[in-house]
């Protein structure tokens, strides 16, 4: 497990490109028949990736659970949201099996002991992207399909940000302790997301970008509104965004991204908007 410690906005101003990437960028999440995990001390959020090919893979594959979490099993005091961004696959949670097609999501509540991943076809493996947050009580494990997600069209062609926000793990859909997750799909010809930019002091975010065509990239913007920085993102990379940082992106083509939020606040209008002309 890769451990990332919290950093403050004053120090980030002095970071080189390499230092910025080392602190916030997450790459290489999908290795055959293994689990990759990055533990961020920003709100103690954990990002996982799993790509089962030849066998069924457990969530704790290769992870020292007690050494890293101080619990007997990973979800003893945690909840988790899982998206499939690969071929069809299945997740078995304490004996109950859920089938996930492309862009489907599974929310697993605190207390699930055994989580197993498999692909329907090893030649077209599932890719399970996951974010976990600390939890204080159990709710309901639930499958959330892409077709049934709450869809909110946003933006305009003129501003190059015509997109649909798909809400999955969201207060309007189901109850969770703190975790919120969704997927934003940009239409062809649109490249900007989350503009005007904003911060929210009471929660952090983790983005993962995918459906980035070969040879294209996304410029992920972060930092204080008057001290912005950028990180170049490639297909299926993820990035950590502390509460003090803006989080926005512009691609060399359209793309899709999954947002995950954790913190004490789930009121989505509780944000500090920044006028575009005030960014530096």
Question: Residue ranges of the alpha helices (H) in the chain?
Answer: 9-12, 17-24, 65-69
Average pLDDT rounded to a whole number, residues 217-227: 96
- Domains observed in the chain: 2-278 (2.60.120.10)
For 82-103, write each residue's pLDDT tens digit.
999 999 999 999 999 999 999 9
Q: What is the pLDDT of residue 268?
A: 61
Q: What is the pLDDT of residue 44?
A: 96
245 - beta bridge partners?
none
CA distance 194 to 201: 16
Q: What is the pLDDT of residue 42?
A: 93
For 129-166, write each residue's pLDDT tens digit.
999 999 999 999 999 999 999 999 999 999 999 999 99
Average pLDDT rounded to a whole number, residues 89-118: 98
- Specify whether the CB–CB gap between 1 and 68 falls below 8 A: yes
Q: What is the pLDDT of residue 270?
A: 66
Which token pair is 50? 């799993």
**pLDDT class of 199 with cuts at 50, 70, 90:** confident
Q: What are phi and psi of 251, to 5 degrees?
A: -105, 165
Average pLDDT rounded to a whole number, residues 58-73: 97
**Global confidence as pTM:** 0.96
For 247-268, write each residue's pLDDT tens digit.
999 999 999 999 999 977 666 6
Report helix, strand or coil for 67. helix
For 14-55, write each residue's pLDDT tens digit.
999 999 999 999 999 999 999 999 999 999 999 999 999 999
Q: Could you tell me how far CA 265 lies from the centroid of its own chain?
A: 17
Q: What is the pLDDT of residue 265?
A: 61
> Which uninterrupted H or E stretch holds 273?
strand 272-273
From 19-23, 117-121, 276-280, the region with the lowest mean pLDDT: 276-280
Q: What is the pLDDT of residue 216?
A: 98
Question: For the residues of 169-197, what is the DSSP string, one character each?
Answer: ESTTT---SS-EEEEEEEPTT--EES-S-
- Of the candidates 48, 82, 51, the one whose C-alpha atom is nearest the C-alpha of residue 65 is 48
203 - beta bridge partners?
263
Residues 6+ positions from 257 with CB-CB distance below 8 Å: 183, 184, 193, 207, 208, 209, 210, 218, 249
């Amino acid at each position: 497990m890769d451990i990332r410690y919290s950093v403050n906005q004053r120090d980030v101003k002095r970071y080189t490109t390499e230092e910025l990437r080392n602190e916030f960028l997450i790459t290489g999440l999908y290795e055959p028949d293994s689990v990759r995990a990055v533990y961020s001390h920003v709100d103690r959020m954990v990002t996982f990736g799993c790509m089962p090919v030849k066998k069924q893979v457990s969530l704790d594959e290769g992870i020292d659970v007690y050494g890293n979490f101080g619990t007997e099993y990973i979800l003893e005091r945690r909840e988790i949201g899982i998206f499939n961004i690969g071929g069809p696959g299945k997740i078995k949670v304490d004996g109950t099996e859920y089938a996930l097609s492309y862009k489907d999501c599974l929310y697993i509540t605190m207390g699930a002991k055994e989580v197993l991943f498999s692909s329907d076809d090893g030649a077209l493996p599932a890719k399970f992207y996951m974010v976990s947050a600390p939890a204080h009580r159990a709710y309901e494990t639930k499958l959330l399909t892409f077709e049934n997600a709450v869809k909110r069209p946003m933006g305009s062609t003129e501003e190059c940000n015509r997109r649909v926000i798909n809400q999955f793990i969201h207060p309007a859909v189901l109850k969770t302790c703190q975790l919120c997750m969704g997927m934003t799909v940009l239409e062809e010809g649109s490249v900007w997301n989350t503009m005007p930019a904003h911060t929210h002091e009471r929660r952090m975010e983790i983005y993962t970008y995918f459906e980035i065509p070969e040879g294209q990239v996304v410029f992920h913007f972060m930092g204080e509104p008057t001290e912005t920085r950028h990180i170049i993102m490639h297909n299926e990379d993820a990035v950590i965004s502390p509460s003090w940082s803006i989080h926005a992106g512009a691609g060399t083509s359209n793309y899709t991204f999954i947002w995950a939020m954790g913190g004490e606040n789930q009121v989505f209008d509780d944000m500090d908007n920044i006028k575009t002309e005030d960014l530096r």
